């Protein structure tokens, strides 16, 4: 990876589109993307670079969606994915799917539903083991990752090099944090080991770090700065306002947010959660209703070097 990232001078609002856009509006949005949060020198101010056909190395554009929560989240992804691809110009769309079944966990059936809907790859986290039928599924489906730093003996894998026709290879790494979470193996050393084993042509390297603590997420970002294209936080379901390029060229955001109901506590109905906070008595949590949004980040990456050119927080409101 190349060395020095540009200064992050432009701090604009998140990229937001809605399902009310006409195809014409969506095309216009793709051609004139709104403000990017952080871009390299040479990228026109006010937007992720539109990819001219004449560029020597066409940037790879990846849309990474935050945790998909329950039926509302996965229905929105399924229904709007084609339109979102067209509007963003994304070559690949990835998502964290570990809460797509009932707001907690991922069944084999729902994992298939999301992959069949057109997501190119799913990552996961601490709830991935909830559904027993997933254990056999994940053992045979390389496009569904589980954190690599669980102790040995569990099925599935934490890294995959996706080779899609006509696109450069993209390595996706899935890791989980240990701070305020189960004490699994060290994610920092696991990342080092995974990177050492990657094929040389996998220059684009995306890390989903599923973690609770902002400090641990920032720490992994700096640990991998210059060695991966992006470190993207998941798990806390709230999109953070810190998307940026780190010193040595790695794109970073503390949390991508979620795809799910927004009038909620992290996607779940407010009332039982409030009762639980107010009384400390156990409550049954359920996926909330109401308006749904998809949030995540858009990345432009130079396939020749693997270096990120831009990262922008992204949001799509379903109406």
DSSP states along 115-182: HHTT-SEEE--TTTTSSTHHHHHHHH-TTB---TTSPTT-SS-SEEEE--TTS--EEEEEEE--TTS-
Contact predicate 30/262, CB 8 Å = no
Residue 15 sits in the site that holds Fe ion (CB under 5 A): no
Least separation in angstroms between CB 126 and Fe ion: 5
Residue 158 sits in the site that holds Fe ion (CB under 5 A): no
Residue 146 sits in the site that holds Fe ion (CB under 5 A): no
Nearer to Fe ion, 205 or 235 (CB): 235
Q: Does 127 participate in catalysis according to the annotation?
A: yes
Nearer to Fe ion, 125 or 261 (CB): 125
Residue 126 sits in the site that holds Fe ion (CB under 5 A): yes
Among the listed residues 191, 155, 197, the one whose alpha carbon sits nearest the alpha carbon of residue 173: 191
Least separation in angstroms between CB 237 and Fe ion: 8
Least separation in angstroms between CB 52 and Fe ion: 39
Place of tokens 């084999």: 108
Interface pattern 270-299 for Fe ion (x via CB under 5 A):
------------------------------
Stretch that binds Fe ion, among 27-35, 142-150, 151-159, 229-237 (CB under 5 A): 229-237
Among the listed residues 132, 159, 140, the one whose alpha carbon sits nearest the alpha carbon of residue 148: 159
Catalytic residue among 37, 80, 127, 235: 127
Nearer to Fe ion, 6 or 102 (CB): 102
Stretch that binds Fe ion, among 54-62, 134-142, 230-238, 253-261 (CB under 5 A): 230-238
Least separation in angstroms between CB 211 and Fe ion: 9
Structure tokens at 183: 């004490």
Residues 181 and 196: their CA atoms lie apart, in Å, by 26
Rounded (10°) CA dihedral 7, 10, 16, 17: -90
Nearer to Fe ion, 126 or 254 (CB): 126
Least separation in angstroms between CB 319 and Fe ion: 28
Residue 123 sits in the site that holds Fe ion (CB under 5 A): no
- CA 29 distance to own-chain centroid: 21
Nearer to Fe ion, 5 or 106 (CB): 106
Structure tokens at 279: 């009384």
Place of tokens 């040595």: 248
Q: At what angle do helices 214-224 and 187-196 cross, to 10 degrees?
A: 30
Contact predicate 49/10, CB 8 Å = no
Q: Which are the contacts of 291, defined by CB distance < 8 A and separation ≥ 6? A: 261, 262, 263, 317, 318, 319
Among 14, 66, 89, 125, binds Fe ion (CB under 5 A): 125
Residue 47 sits in the site that holds Fe ion (CB under 5 A): no
Residue 235 sits in the site that holds Fe ion (CB under 5 A): yes
Stretch that binds Fe ion, among 58-66, 120-128, 164-172, 306-314 (CB under 5 A): 120-128
Residue 124 sits in the site that holds Fe ion (CB under 5 A): no
Residues 114 and 122: their CA atoms lie apart, in Å, by 8
Q: Catalytic residues, which ones?
A: 127
Contacts with Fe ion, residue ranges (CB under 5 A): 125-126, 235
């Amino acid at each position: 990876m190349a060395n020095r990232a540009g200064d992050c001078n432009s701090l604009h609002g998140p990229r937001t589109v809605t399902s009310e856009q006409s195809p014409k509006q969506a095309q216009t949005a793709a051609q004139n993307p709104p403000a990017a949060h952080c871009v390299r020198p040479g990228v026109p101010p006010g937007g992720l670079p539109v990819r001219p056909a004449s560029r020597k190395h066409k940037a790879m554009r990846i849309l990474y969606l935050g945790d998909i929560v329950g039926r509302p989240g996965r229905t929105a992804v399924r229904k709007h994915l084609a339109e979102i691809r067209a509007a963003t110009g994304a070559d690949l769309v990835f998502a964290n799917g570990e809460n797509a079944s009932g707001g907690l966990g991922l069944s084999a059936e729902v994992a298939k539903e999301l992959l069949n809907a057109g997501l190119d790859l799913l990552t996961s986290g601490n709830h991935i083991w909830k559904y027993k039928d997933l254990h056999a599924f994940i053992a045979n489906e390389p496009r569904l990752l589980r954190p690599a730093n669980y102790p040995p003996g569990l099925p599935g894998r934490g890294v995959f090099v996706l080779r899609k026709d006509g696109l450069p290879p993209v390595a996706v790494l899935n890791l989980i944090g240990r701070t305020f979470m189960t004490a699994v193996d060290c994610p920092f050393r696991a990342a080092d080991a995974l990177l050492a084993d990657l094929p040389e042509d996998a220059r684009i390297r995306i890390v989903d770090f599923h973690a609770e603590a902002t400090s641990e997420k920032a720490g992994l970002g700096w640990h991998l700065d210059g060695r991966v294209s992006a470190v993207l936080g998941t798990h806390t379901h709230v999109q953070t306002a810190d998307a940026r390029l780190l010193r040595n060229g790695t794109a970073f955001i503390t949390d991508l947010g979620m795809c799910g109901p927004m009038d909620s506590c992290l996607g779940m109905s407010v009332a039982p959660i409030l009762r639980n906070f107010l009384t400390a008595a156990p409550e049954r949590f359920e996926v909330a209703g109401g308006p749904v949004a998809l949030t995540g980040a858009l990345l432009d990456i130079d396939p020749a070097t693997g270096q990120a050119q831009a990262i922008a927080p992204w949001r799509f409101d379903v109406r």
